[in-house]
Structure 1
Amino acid sequence: MSSNLGRILDSVDPFIGTAATDLPAAQGLAATWWWPKAQVGNTHPGACHPLGMVSACACSGAYPTGYGRYGISTEGAPVPMFDDDLASGFTHFQQSGTGAIRKYYNYFRVTPMIEPLDALGTRWRLRDEVAEPGYYAATLENGIRCELTVGEKTAVHRYTFPESFSARVVLDFSYGGLAIEHGSTVPLRAGLESLGQGCAQGTVVMEGMPLSVYVDSDTPKGWRQLVWYDRRRVDGGTRLDFDYIRRTTLRPFGLMFMGPARGATTVELRMGFSMRGTDQARRNLEAALPGEAGFDHARAAARTAWSGYFSQVEVQGGTPERRTVFATSLYHSLIKPCFAEDESPFWPSKGPFVFDIATMWDMYKTQFPLLTALAPDKGADMLESLVRIAEEEGNLPIGYRMARGTDRFFRQASALAHTVLADGYQLGLEGVEWDWALVHMQDDLRRGYGEDYTERGIVHPISHTLDLATGYWCTAIVARGLGDLKLADELEAKSRAWVNAFGKDGLLRDSSFYEGGRWNYSFRLLHDMAARIDLAGGDKDFVAMLDRFFGYGAAPVAQLGVPPFGPEFAIGQDLDRFEGLNNEPDMEAPWAYHYAGRPDRTAEIVHAALAHQFGTGRGGLPGNDDSGALSSWYVWASLGLFPVAGQNLFLVNAPAFAAASLRFGGNDFEVSTTGHVETGIGEDAAGSLPRYVQSARFNGRPLDQSFITGNQLHGGGRLEIELGPEPSDWATKTRPPSASDRPDAARGGPRHQEFLP
């Protein structure tokens, strides 16, 4: 890495995105965009390990991470549920930036108290909060200072008590979920055992997932250890067992350490977790914290783990605000998915187990390519886990959480794992049984909505037609690479059915949509953009459609406030407008201009989004972060790159930083610019103008096209970009590749006519 490029780990602010969107009024083009979805990032500031299994955070029960003060919010500004930042304790396992994910975790609540056990569940105000990667601290209004840190499979709590005759640390094994309607999670079965000498263990089965914990405490001399049920001590008892629990029969239960606090008494609680029983939970704890190692050791280890990732991404320049947003975006991009090596409770063999792929319909576009670039081994583990899930459960998942059940987000999308697998195959990721992966990719195309697609060449919701067509194309890539040319030809033929999704107006046909409408989904980056643009009438007509969608020449719009809404909601819907990254189906749309020879338009829109849709402070995100997908968009856009999912392509654009030094695919990749002009965010950017690419060079040779391949990015090199204040003719003639550009993909008839099987 270049010595003059600044490290950014210390710029991370985990509080960004935890509160309602609070950005300065947008200027120019960004002022014409309309945001219908929840205007809150839904992130949390808790202690997280990069891509680790465990997180830990203060818990109020608010939607949807358990942290914060809001109730359910799906549209407009969120409605407060509490008037302050509160916590009834500190829980483990949180979502990150999701909305209605329905599995909300927050298990094994730990509550430090100087009140009687009857007060368990009280929400105390949080004061003096501090958060950094791997660490969270706050003081409860009862005076207890609380600190949390985590490892991959562990959590360590440290509580410093004020003077008190009877202090206690209470573990609630029965707690889970949120304090919203239908938001709580009740254990199906549970058991816990006090082992004496500060140790305990237990298992709860939540949503069909057995989750075990081993606890090792460092309590002062004279403190007692006991189990409790229904807020009453179980005198003389050392264990509790529940064969079945119903919501109507649930009573809180758990473990408690208690004794006097004689001025600044400190208690540490070390917790190891596993999905394969308490013995493995104990081994996980011992491996992470050997001997006398405690909180400080765990905090330093978490810092080191984060430093390992952040040392791979360094940028030059940028205002302090822009660097903070960029650093925090990188941080949010590396919280999910959760990697739990050798932890699957559903198959006994060793190997990767990955969960909290909770918003794959967004993550596959931006977050997965970033993860694979920074950690190819993790990318391969994720793909192998997806294939194993298909082997064990019968389908490639659309989303996968820490839960057992048939709910796999089938409404949102189809065949998304196929794009990720195709990218991994083209990058040459090792550790995946590709022949076996191909079997599951092919079989999965006929499941769910795929059955109708196979028979009719079209399916509703219409966006699933695009998903499945892309899935066929991606599966054909793997088949051709493995030498099964006959299968590849058959799959490619079916991939051309994407044309059936579009009407004569060049937009998607009327249909139902999971989010947004047909305009939002009409500009996704298909595998055959050349044919898609021809279908819209050619470059000029396609650009005109995009210009309308992005609000060129339109008046500023009024955003939604707090529900219930007035007429502004219907007015906004009728705009059919870009939703400013508040709605993630729009994430790739700005780069559609590249395929029509107008990268200057992409530069304008991305510049406006970076300047006006993100900011510092708790309200600095325009909408749900969706497991880091939105933050990953910001990282790529700031670097002047954008991944095209499933196609082994990265589109090139004007970067937001003067230079960047990256470690992608295990190799050094540098981005440098000439003509860069520093711009800020929010109010600082009101008068700033976008910069346009004038020319580019890759590894010393002219780059006249607006893209590089994923292999080039991962292989290392130097991308030099000359910027200027006016649009140029760079990359206006050579377009990114499309399926119909390839001779072997053109067999089977004209590319623009309606395709039916």
Structure 2
Amino acid sequence: MKRACISLVLLLSGVPAAMSNPDSGIVPFVDPRIGVNGGGNVLIGPCQPFSIVRMNPHMEKPHITSGYKIGARITGFTVTGVSGTGGGGRYGNFCVYPQSGELDPSKRLSEVADEMAELGYYAANLTAERVKAELTSTEKVGYMRFTFGPQAAKHILLDMTSVIDRFRSRPSDGRCVVAYGVMNDDGLIEGQGVFQGGWGHNKPYILYFSAKTDVPCSAFGAFKGGETLPGMRVITGDNCGFYMTFSDSQPQAITVKIAVSTLSVGKAREHLLRSGDMDFRQALEENRATWLKYLDRFRIEGGTQKQRTLFYTSLYRTLVMPTDVTGENPQWQNSEPHFWDYYCIWDTFRTVFPLLSIAYPSQYVNMIRSLIDIYDHEGWLPDAWVVGGIARQQGGTNADVVIAEAMAKGIKGFDYDKAYLAVKKNATVPADESWDNYQSVMAGKHASYMENGYVPAHRISCVSHTLEYAYNDYCMSRIAAKMGHREEAEVYARRSMNCYNLFDSRTGFFWAKTEQGEWAENFSPTFMDKSVTNRYYYEGTPWHYAMYVPHDFAGLIRRHGGARAFEAKLDSMFIGKYYTQSNEPDIHVPYLYNYVGAQHRTAEVVRSLLSTRYSTRRAGLPGNDDSGCMSSWYIFSAMGFYPIAGQSFYLIGSPVFDKVTIALENGKKFIVQAVNNSEANKYIQRAYLNGKALDRSWIDHSEIARGGVLRFEMGDKPSGWASDCQMPIPM
């Protein structure tokens, strides 16, 4: 027993020097553990920006959408996954499990100890197997290094049929339909799996893999269920895989490399062979070098250790999804960029795309091109596009917002004419409303909205759909104006006022109406239907949607009785704790004090949310990260300005750092400085843009794109700065 304990200690202490002494720059400030618990649902394992390979520990059921759960036993390590999503799970494919002692495919289960996660790296000890597991990845290849304890038989099992399944015990949960694999004479294990289920749609999808170990095995075979089939080179089924056994004379550390493709086994093999002799440490170095090219676009000075960690971890999270499968689209082949896993634009149009527009416009353009390409082949711009299929629309036709914003900001590189036609279809052609029992749509707008000016109460999410459709119409009007179609622009500008068809002046809230134009019964400002039907509002209450009129805040303020009455309404929302940071519909609301000359209240609310709703704990996110939406909210708010998505300007908040330098793709730099900044000094006293006094609490994208310096002088009391400024007129 004593000898065994000593061996285990030695095994657990074998952390690479690069892990125990991370780089002195950005690397220490990325903590993949933040948000893995408490509903954040983010990946703890390694990936690269927008990569298909997103590795993660795969825990016993029930597990969350990432497949990970603190304190649960592990069933292996998967190569694919999604980060921060809700609903039913996806991916979790090609699960690898190291096993010591007796080979038994039915006993792939172990407690986990000594977990650690850093940028591009994950490690843990599987106590039942006396194995240390380490993960890293390149864009297309996952690396798993398993260090076995001494004096034990060594096996590695590859389950070709694993999925994130039974998240909510529904028939639509993920499952493997069938898998097929071959153990080749050269030691490569290759195959494919047909998978189905998960959030958004039930369309089957196929993933392909090619895998090998850096050490040749001494024996091999297949397994099906719990049965082992020694020497078997070909296997197929819905619960099957391969195993490899290694002799005592072979090294204790064995690395498995597994490449993934959405196109073919041959493409997966190509990715694997292209990695050549790259070992685990070299792959980790490449992973970090790739990440640093993205993360280094932002340099921060000042702030606390917690704030710096949250900033760079949030930036990391923002760049995980969607999945770049350019050149490997299995449905059609062309030269256009292609992305899977927009989970979904209803979340990401608000903060993720605006952040891309500033620091990563090339990626922004590629994503828009992919959306237009989907329109070309599928007939619609999707709100969600998951593993090659249009998925359920949550709100409006919000790809319209993404495209309108790019045009408003003067971002080039995509076909404006085709984008205009795609958005116009959303505005003019009613959706097919027959796809499910909940009266929802996959793409487009409800016909009733186009006919009556609102979605009636018998349709799910009728109020939230109406509000979002109205803003989508506004975006259509701006696109039409950009393209020179003035009369058409006026038509859709008028139609964007449909939002007020559901504004009840008696209550000051938006509420449902019947087809006959009567108000629905039983109004309550906190009404929320938590069933799958989302009656009246999608994932929200009248409070959460009370301020969703991004194109006409001035009109909304008038309907509430003017600036002071609207300010009181905002105060009521925060004092009464009706605001929620954990979901998207109202996350812009803290910045609306700018519209009534109370910028200091935005500073107070935003600083409070940054410090209380975000932390460096494992439950450090306010809710589902939603493909980086909540993370990018933190980034903008910590820098001190926030986008109104679909438009070209940003509202001023309260910066937490002394200095943020953004390296723009055009070679220029935009710098935000906060002089005399501290936790107490949250209020802007004076502001300067490129040395000239700035008396407005907003800046335009063009002012960022030209480069320059936005300088704030901070103090511990409200100064009245920008209290009488003119707010931007939406363009």
Code of the aligned partner of 1:591: Y
Instruction: Show the counterpart of 1:325.
Output: 310
Whole-angstrom distance in 1 between the partners of 2:450 and 2:67: 44
Whole-angstrom distance in 1 between the partners of 2:281 and 2:37: 30
Flag the 1:15–1:691 CA change in 2: closer, same or farther, 3 A.
same
| RCO higher in structure (CA 8 A, sep ≥6) | 1
Instruction: Show the counterpart of 1:514.
Output: 538
Flag the 1:236–1:691 CA change in 2: closer, same or farther, 3 A.
closer
- Counterparts of 1:6-405 in structure 2 under 5 Å? 7-20=25-38, 40-61=39-60, 62-69=62-69, 84-100=71-87, 102-141=88-127, 142-180=129-167, 181-182=169-170, 185-207=174-196, 208-220=204-216, 223-241=218-236, 250=238, 252-262=239-249, 265-287=252-274, 289=275, 291-402=276-387, 404=389
> How big is each residue's C-alpha offset from its partner over 1:491-535, in whole Å with a ceiling of 9 and x where there is no partner?
222222222231103321247112120111112351111111112
Code of the aligned partner of 1:513: Y
Question: When the two structures are aligned, how many residues end up with a matched partner?
Answer: 654
Q: Name the SS for the 2:143 alignment partner.
A: strand
Q: Name the SS for the 1:732 alignment partner.
A: coil
Instruction: Show the counterpart of 2:710.
Output: 719
Whole-angstrom distance in 2 between the partners of 1:435 and 1:616: 45
> How big is each residue's C-alpha offset from its partner over 1:562-587, in whole Å with a ceiling of 9 and x where there is no partner?
xxxxxxxxxxxxx57112x1233221
Whether the 8 Å contact between 1:164 and 1:262 is mirrored in structure 2 is no
Q: Name the SS for the 1:196 alignment partner.
A: coil
- Counterparts of 1:476-495 in structure 2 under 5 Å? 476-495=477-496
> How big is each residue's C-alpha offset from its partner over 1:339-371, in whole Å with a ceiling of 9 and x where there is no partner?
222122121223311122113222111112112
- Counterparts of 1:267-666 in structure 2 under 5 Å? 267-287=254-274, 289=275, 291-402=276-387, 404=389, 408-410=391-393, 412-445=394-427, 446-448=429-431, 449-460=445-456, 461-504=462-505, 505-510=507-512, 512-524=536-548, 526-551=550-575, 577-579=578-580, 581-666=581-666
Whole-angstrom distance in 2 between the partners of 1:106 and 1:651: 39
Whether the 8 Å contact between 1:59 and 1:91 is mirrored in structure 2 is yes
Whole-angstrom distance in 2 between the partners of 1:457 and 1:693: 42
TM score, norm. by length of structure 2: 0.86
Runs of 4+ in 1 over 4 A off after TM superposition: none
Whether the 8 Å contact between 2:260 and 2:268 is mirrored in structure 1 is yes
Flag the 1:177–1:299 CA change in 2: closer, same or farther, 3 A.
same
Whether the 8 Å contact between 1:112 and 1:159 is mirrored in structure 2 is yes
**Pair 1:668 & 2:651 matched:** no
Flag the 1:450–1:735 CA change in 2: closer, same or farther, 3 A.
farther
Whole-angstrom distance in 2 between the partners of 1:13 and 1:615: 11
Whether the 8 Å contact between 1:590 and 1:605 is mirrored in structure 2 is yes
Flag the 1:261–1:328 CA change in 2: closer, same or farther, 3 A.
farther
Flag the 1:701–1:487 CA change in 2: closer, same or farther, 3 A.
same
Whole-angstrom distance in 2 between the partners of 1:154 and 1:715: 39
- Structure 1 gaps of 5+ residues are 1-5, 21-39, 71-83, 243-249, 552-574, 680-688, 743-757
Q: Name the SS for the 2:544 alignment partner.
A: helix
Whole-angstrom distance in 2 between the partners of 1:591 and 1:523: 11
Instruction: Show the counterpart of 2:693.
Output: 702
Whether the 8 Å contact between 1:175 and 1:185 is mirrored in structure 2 is no
Whether the 8 Å contact between 1:117 and 1:232 is mirrored in structure 2 is no
Whole-angstrom distance in 1 between the partners of 2:231 and 2:257: 24
1:238, distance to aligned residue in structure 2 (A): 2.2
Flag the 1:713–1:447 CA change in 2: closer, same or farther, 3 A.
farther
Code of the aligned partner of 2:352: Q
Code of the aligned partner of 2:676: G
> How big is each residue's C-alpha offset from its partner over 1:71-115, in whole Å with a ceiling of 9 and x where there is no partner?
xxxxxxxxxxxxx24211001222212221x24210110111114
Whole-angstrom distance in 1 between the partners of 2:665 and 2:644: 17
Code of the aligned partner of 2:649: L
Whole-angstrom distance in 1 between the partners of 2:258 and 2:229: 23
Code of the aligned partner of 1:673: A
Whole-angstrom distance in 2 between the partners of 1:620 and 1:438: 40
Instruction: Show the counterpart of 2:729.
Output: 738
Q: Name the SS for the 1:518 alignment partner.
A: coil
Q: Name the SS for the 1:212 alignment partner.
A: strand
Q: Name the SS for the 1:519 alignment partner.
A: coil
Whether the 8 Å contact between 2:297 and 2:664 is mirrored in structure 1 is yes
Code of the aligned partner of 1:489: E
Whole-angstrom distance in 1 between the partners of 2:488 and 2:43: 46
Percent of residue pairs identical: 30
Q: Name the SS for the 1:388 alignment partner.
A: helix
Give me the CA root mean square deviation: 2.1
Whole-angstrom distance in 2 between the partners of 1:145 and 1:16: 22
Whether the 8 Å contact between 1:214 and 1:271 is mirrored in structure 2 is yes
Whole-angstrom distance in 2 between the partners of 1:480 and 1:274: 42
Q: Name the SS for the 2:84 alignment partner.
A: coil
Whole-angstrom distance in 2 between the partners of 1:121 and 1:516: 43
Query: After alignment, is 306-315 or 345-354 more displaced?
Result: 345-354
Instruction: Show the counterpart of 2:682.
Output: 691
Whether the 8 Å contact between 2:105 and 2:157 is mirrored in structure 1 is no
Whole-angstrom distance in 1 between the partners of 2:258 and 2:231: 24
Whole-angstrom distance in 1 between the partners of 2:331 and 2:227: 36
Q: Name the SS for the 1:368 alignment partner.
A: helix
1:225, distance to aligned residue in structure 2 (A): 3.4
Whole-angstrom distance in 1 between the partners of 2:248 and 2:335: 44
Whether the 8 Å contact between 1:163 and 1:263 is mirrored in structure 2 is no
Flag the 1:474–1:512 CA change in 2: closer, same or farther, 3 A.
same
> How big is each residue's C-alpha offset from its partner over 1:687-739, in whole Å with a ceiling of 9 and x where there is no partner?
xx451112211122222111111222233211011112221232222233234
Whole-angstrom distance in 1 between the partners of 2:727 and 2:271: 47
Flag the 1:262–1:65 CA change in 2: closer, same or farther, 3 A.
farther
Whether the 8 Å contact between 2:351 and 2:633 is mirrored in structure 1 is yes
- Structure 2 gaps of 5+ residues are 1-23, 197-203, 432-444, 457-461, 513-534
Q: Name the SS for the 1:226 alignment partner.
A: strand
Whole-angstrom distance in 2 between the partners of 1:640 and 1:475: 29
Whether the 8 Å contact between 1:419 and 1:474 is mirrored in structure 2 is yes
Whether the 8 Å contact between 1:339 and 1:355 is mirrored in structure 2 is yes
Whether the 8 Å contact between 2:65 and 2:89 is mirrored in structure 1 is no
Flag the 1:63–1:371 CA change in 2: closer, same or farther, 3 A.
farther
